[in-house]
Structure 1
């Protein structure tokens, strides 16, 4: 049904399917049109039903299904195909492999997740990648058994049994031994841990790598009517119904051009080398571009023109003008084939028509929308002097930062406590193993709060250059969020008996913490307190004390983020 709709096929009326269905279902950025294959889309929807069955245990429908078919099983095991089960239950069971592929355990207190058997660091079990045999009694140990009372990993218990890169991933996972929250399943294919059919579909659908990804993105973002974008996609895939293609498929008597007897009607001939097209392009291409324009082969000709950045006299970008002109040249060719030469435009008339229509469409594209909508126009920016600012009198400034070389990759965090004069009070560096950039930022804030409390500060102003970290801390995150455990720990520390202000600063005002976070990778795993500045950082501290600033272009329309007091 999808195929027939795309190619306008009707009952008793066959149409030519110009592009293979497998190509049509490829995402737009990889050369297709992004139509979802029905089977995979259905499987993703079934996985959604299975996910709701597992997570929505308090709902009436879930309780009934659990009681009737669950057979006392839990979590993903509940979706086993029970004998005599309903069509709905069997349908959910078909998606169990999808759920197993995308689910993992979100560690809270670590008492529910088996360290070696359950997926929590990898999509599979750690037992599968262990370098040595794991005894049966060890297999039953939980994640909580591998951390100390303060949540520090007991590396000596597993570092000899696992590859180094796996150990590095484990070290960045937060375990809250003080929490009463149990470990819970989360969806690894979404950044927030919540299930979505889109992420499930992408998980089970191979994503091809296409060297022409930039070209395809350009085509689908052209400021032209959608029909022109589709035509350009067909052209770049080599699938418009020229006589050569129709003759190859045995639906045309001759492969020749209707205007040029003896010349095969290829895409390049029709759109560039046929006399009406040549007449038009000779008058539109500048002398410097003319030689390449008429000598390149089809693929290079299309890509070079679609990726150009210049504009024409009307202000229209060259790729948009080029695409629209090609479509109108093709439409004129179709009129010639269907209605005869008397109905087709002559070369001068065709040129006049193309110039008039491209100008009209360009003006229409620039016209304001009829209904108010949120535009995508980039915000205006102004230059601003940015640097470190000392804290308010009676307060201590804590700057923190995180760094990840690869995102995820080798990661670290760092921070510094300074008084009103900018003097060093305390600092820290932390080697986190393997982590993402945002996880590193959150660890930096968490360790910084510990250092500030230890040194007796009860009025702390925290600055970080990660707006996302502040948003995650301020938001009421879902318990299944991948960073929920660390965020809960940070919130608990913020709610101690003290005054804390969380504010955002730009990187130019956070240079000392930035240096420390990158320097942390030379230290062994764990957090290391620094009683004095390490060698190489004194010049940055001195610049901050002197009020040295750097120029940065910032958004003019937005005000600085308001501090959050806790």
Structure 2
């Protein structure tokens, strides 16, 4: 897929050569290899690449009006799906319906967009830049082989036990055992019998029942004795004897004890299986004391790998003392201060915030504009659709700058409580869906600087964003001056505190 992506986005001589050789004058891809050993593979992946590609529209000169999916997930040719139309004679570029950076849609094409349910005027045009193909599954639009694999591979539902194995505190060898146990890929006698072998079964440790996974791990008297001992170490009572109940009870513990308990479950079950094999194949006698010692050793290995912290309580301290592992005391919260600073003379300070009721969820933005004396010039609230918190934060910055430019406030200081969003704009690495809107909003600004502050010194924009989340999508409300519902705003150079 990487070669197909490079083929569709020529940036070097190889890509240009391949396009000249394998794209016909009718803009169709050649169906013959022409002596190339890689063209068949490249051509086979082109449709997948195009399906997951989108466009940041610039001048429109590089986008095929009919064959590229620039306005929806399908191209106009695929939407119409009419073989009677002479597609080989249609070579229009998107630039043919863009005039001075605005859409100039012919009447018949406008009817087509209405029939397809495409709001063409909601698509932003960045007229000063060239068109750019983007990889839609990636938030920033960057193609990668890893991202392509994630996009096209078949995905199954995430199993409930995945998080208990993909844990840094669980050694890979122990995680492999856990995977086998969850998938029941253990050659006990009952599994061997399902292969058609007539096998008399008796569990070699207790010598009272046939050998099954359930009996071996959970129901055997020896297993019960071991699990009860370990449960007492963690001060647990009345556990159902199955893997789900044992792992889920860890959710009530601190993150550190949760890591140790998961390691105890995987380590204990693997030691029971190891003791069974030693008795069956090595003729070694079972020793309860040795198994307990090995079990504690595996828990100590998990403690060495864990980077989590405990609750600073006497109960957990006692548990860790019994297990003989290091104490990972959580850090005491520190009280830190922050300030809201005034902008310079001639500069407007825009405090922005985005909110989403869920991640993703119904979103909204809030912006407050203040001058060098701290006076509130106006506020902006707007409702968004289904967005993530990060997208909402970025939308707040873009709309804040857009409204500032419309009022002639061309020197702005943007302050947000999202460090991630601020860094994205500083490094010009914002989501591809917002690139054109940001370029249009910031084009007329003389100077923009960004800074991040804590929410404790950005509470007025936070209140506005929550109010914006209550508005319908696309509905905005701008108030000149300070609105009545904004009872409290930041005081310049007053100290605000937070626990870190």
Normalised to the residue count of structure 1, the TM-score between the two structures is 0.69
**Contact 1:279 1:347 survives alignment (8 Å):** no
| 1:234 alignment counterpart | 180
- Between the aligned partners of 1:406 and 1:316, the Cα distance in structure 2 is 28
Partner of 1:7: none
Q: Report the CA distance between 1:95 and its aligned residue.
A: 1.2
Contact 1:429 1:519 in 2 (8 A): yes
The 3-state SS of whatever aligns with 2:436 is helix
2:155 maps to what in 1?
A: 207
Say which SS state the counterpart of residue 345 (structure 1) adopts: coil
Going from structure 1 to structure 2, the CA distance change for 1:55 and 1:128 (only over 3 Å counts) comes to closer
* 1:337 match: 280
Q: CA distance change for structure 1 residues 387 and 128 in 2, over 3 Å: closer, same or farther?
A: farther
Match of 1:512 in 2: 460
**Match of residue 425, structure 1, among 377, 381, 396:** 377
Q: Give the match's secondary structure for 1:400.
A: strand
C-alpha displacement of 1:336: 0.9
The residue correspondences of 1:49-198 to structure 2 (distance < 5 A) are 49-59=3-13, 61-72=14-25, 77-78=28-29, 80-82=30-32, 84-110=34-60, 113=63, 118-125=68-75, 161=114, 167=119, 173-177=123-127, 179=128, 181-198=129-146
User: Aligned match of 1:530 in 448, 466, 479?
Assistant: 479
Match of 2:314 in 1: none
Whole-angstrom distance in 2 between the partners of 1:123 and 1:390: 46
For 2:402 and 2:162, locate their aligned partners in 1 and report how far apart those are by CA, in whole Å: 50
RMSD: 4.3
Q: Distance in 1 between matches of 2:163 and 2:461?
A: 38
Q: Residues 304-347 of structure 1: CA distance to partner in whole angstroms, max 9, x if unpaired?
A: 4565636999x97222123212212211111111112xx23322
Between stretches 219-228 and 452-461, larger displacement belongs to 452-461
Q: Deviations over 1:110-138 (max 9, x none)?
A: 465467864235322478789xxxx999x
The CA deviation at 1:432 is 5.8
Q: Determine the C-alpha separation between the residues in 2 that align with 1:379 and 1:158.
A: 63
Alignment correspondent of 1:492: 443
Q: Distance in 2 between matches of 1:105 and 1:265?
A: 60
- The answer to whether the Cα contact below 8 Å between 2:365 and 2:383 also exists between their aligned partners in 1 is yes
Match of 2:230 in 1: 284
1:147/1:505 CA distance change after superposition, 3 Å: farther
Map of 1:15 onto structure 2:
none
Specify whether residues 395 and 550 from structure 1 end up closer, same or farther in structure 2 by C-alpha distance, changes over 3 A only: same
Pair 416,300 (structure 1): closer, same or farther in 2 beyond 3 Å? closer
CA contact (8 A) 2:218 2:242 kept: no
* Whole-angstrom CA distance in 2 between matches of 1:171 and 1:384: 47
Deviation at 1:506, TM superposition (A): 2.4
Listed one character per residue, the Cα deviations across residues 131-154 of structure 1 (whole Å, up to 9, x for unaligned) are: xxxx999x9997778888676999
> 1:557 maps to which residue?
none
Residues 236 and 302 of structure 1 are in contact (CA less than 8 Å); yes or no, is this contact kept in structure 2?
A: no
Q: Which residue of 1 aligns with 2:310?
A: none
Question: TM-score of the superposition, structure 2-length normalised?
Answer: 0.77
Q: Give 1:256 deviation, angstroms.
A: 2.5
Asked whether the equivalents of residues 418 and 425 of structure 1 are also in contact (C-alpha less than 8 Å), the reply is yes
Aligned partners of 1:158, 1:467: CA distance in 2, in Å?
44
SS at match of 1:422: coil
Q: Distance in 1 between matches of 2:482 and 2:464?
A: 10
Number of residues of Structure 1 aligned to a counterpart in Structure 2 = 469
Determine the structure 2 residue equivalent to 1:298. 242
- Cα 1:183–1:430, aligned 2, differ >3 Å: closer, same or farther? farther
CA contact (8 A) 1:401 1:513 kept: yes
Question: Match of 1:501, SS?
Answer: strand
Q: How much does 1:438 deviate?
A: 4.1
Moved more, 198-207 or 446-455: 446-455
Contact 1:98 1:200 in 2 (8 A): no
In the other structure, the counterpart of 2:295 is 354
In 1, Cα distance between the equivalents of 2:245 and 2:63? 57
Does the C-alpha gap of structure 1 residues 158 and 503 become closer, same or farther in structure 2, counting only changes over 3 Å? farther
Task: Say if 1:200 and 1:331 are closer, same or farther in 2 by CA, change over 3 A.
Answer: same
Taking the aligned partners of 1:477 and 1:287, their CA distance within structure 2 comes to 50
> How far 1:445 sits from its partner (Å)?
2.9
- Shift in Å, 1:366: 6.7
| Separation in 1, partners of 2:332, 2:111 | 53
CA shift for structure 1 position 105: 2.0
> 1:217 Cα shift?
1.1
Judging changes above 3 Å, is the alpha-carbon distance between structure 1 residues 366 and 175 closer, same or farther for their aligned structure 2 residues?
closer
Aligned-pair CA distance for 1:242: 1.3
Shift of 1:534: 4.0
Which structure 2 residues correspond to residues 447-526 of structure 1 after superposition, within 5 A? Answer: 447-453=399-405, 455=407, 457=409, 459-477=411-429, 481-489=432-440, 492-494=443-445, 496=446, 499-520=447-468, 522=471, 525=474
| 1:221 partnered with 2:167 | yes
Cα deviation, residue 392, structure 1? 4.3
Larger deviation: 224-233 or 397-406?
Answer: 397-406
Give SS of 2:334's match.
strand
Distance (Å, rounded) in 2 between the aligned partners of 1:231 and 1:436: 37
Unpaired segments ≥5 residues, structure 2? 308-328
1:191-226 CA-to-partner distances (Å, cap 9, x unmatched) read 22122222222222222224x43x211122162322
